[in-house]
């Protein structure tokens, strides 16, 4: 026959419990505040990883408290599937790989990001006043940098030309030495051949 009323009630309670858990999980996944929090956590984790790859990890940064580690593991477990679906494009990861272990590249990337943000954001009145105030000094510094660059380029060019001349002279001397050694060796072989072919008495 059918199930006993107690079995039906227990089955209904178990299903109700499962549905409540599922509904709570769905509500947690679609909650705007939880979505924002997960993205913030992922961004912090990503930035921390980039910082450690670029600058190296410090012993203090490597030691985490147990609650912090547990929270990171729990957050990572919850967001694993969503992180894969919402992974960033190839650009940040390629920049991270290029800059890994090289603070100069990281600085150049940071400078580029700052310049990009500066070009996008509107100029404020204090910034405009500061630019007008320091414009002559900026122009003088730019001219000085150009002069230094030109002098450096000229010095490198002169040094390279003199090095090339010295190398040519050295190669000519070595070629002459090799030529005379080859001529002497050929003469020695010729003399031995001539003395060896003379009739023996």
User: How does DSSP assign 107-134, residue by residue?
Assistant: HHHHHHHHHHHHHHSPPPHHHHHHHHHH
pLDDT at site 78: 54
Predicted model pTM:
0.26
Quote the CA–CA distance of 125 and 127 in Å, as a whole number.
5
Average the pLDDT over each of 66-75, 141-150, 157-166, 189-198 and give the range with the smallest value: 66-75
pLDDT beyond 70 at 57: no
pLDDT at site 95: 60
Q: What rounded mean pLDDT belongs to the chain?
A: 74
Burial (CB < 10 A; 0-12, 13-18, 19+), residue 133, is exposed
């Amino acid at each position: 026959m059918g199930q006993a009323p107690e079995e039906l009630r227990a089955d209904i309670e178990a299903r109700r419990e499962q549905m409540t858990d599922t509904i709570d999980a769905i509500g947690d996944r679609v909650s705007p505040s939880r979505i924002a929090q997960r993205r913030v956590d992922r961004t912090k984790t990503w930035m921390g990883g980039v910082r450690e790859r670029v600058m190296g990890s410090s012993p203090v940064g490597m030691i985490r408290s147990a609650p912090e580690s547990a929270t990171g593991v729990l957050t990572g477990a919850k967001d694993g599937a969503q992180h894969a679906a919402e992974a960033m494009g190839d650009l940040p990861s390629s920049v991270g790989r290029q800059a890994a272990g090289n603070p100069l590249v990281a600085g150049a990337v940071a400078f580029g990001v700052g310049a990009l943000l500066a070009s996008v954001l509107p100029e404020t009145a204090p910034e405009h006043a500061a630019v007008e105030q320091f414009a002559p000094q900026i122009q003088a510094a730019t001219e000085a940098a150009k002069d230094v660059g030109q002098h450096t380029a000229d010095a490198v060019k002169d040094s390279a030309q003199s090095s090339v001349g010295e190398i040519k002279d050295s190669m000519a001397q070595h070629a002459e030495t090799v030529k005379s050694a080859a001529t002497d060796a050929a003469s020695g072989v010729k003399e031995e051949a001539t003395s060896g072919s003379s009739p023996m008495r």
